[in-house]
Amino acid sequence: MAALKLRKWDSAEHLKTDEDMALYLEACFQEAGDDAAFIAKALGHIARAKGMSQLSRDTGLGRESLYKALSGEGNPSFATILKVTSALGIKLHAQTMNAG
């Protein structure tokens, strides 16, 4: 019997379209509760799917600092999150909690 080869799941590999990315982020918002690191990590997955080098150029932030900030281990400022979402073409919006 051949050995079974496994590899770690990478969400970024499955985010092919802008719609995939928007739906993924929306699902992450619903799942995260108040876990900001969960959202930062989700943005990191989207960033890697789109291309971290291009994101670095578009935001003016270094690739290494982006990887750290969006790893789930970093603590990015809200300004960084806004730069990243803007560069990724993601629009954040507010709604009341009882609206959806």
Specify whether the CB–CB gap between 31 and 25 falls below 8 A. no
Give the separation between CA 46 and CA 93, rounded to whole angstroms.
18
- Better-scored residue on pLDDT, 74 or 56: 56
Confidence band of 99 (pLDDT split at 50, 70, 90)? low
pTM: 0.84
Q: What is the mean pLDDT of residues 49-71?
A: 94
| pLDDT for the residue 93 | 84
Give the separation between CA 45 and CA 52, rounded to whole angstroms.
10
Residue boundaries of the structural domains of the chain: 17-91
Confidence band of 100 (pLDDT split at 50, 70, 90)? low
Q: What tens digit of pLDDT does each residue of 30-43 get?
A: 999 999 999 999 99
Give the separation between CA 43 and CA 61, rounded to whole angstroms.
15
Specify whether the CB–CB gap between 70 and 62 falls below 8 A. no
Instruction: Please state which architecture CATH assigns to domain 17-91.
Output: Orthogonal Bundle (1.10)
Q: Is 40 exposed, middle or buried (0-12, 13-18, 19+ CB in 10 A)?
A: buried
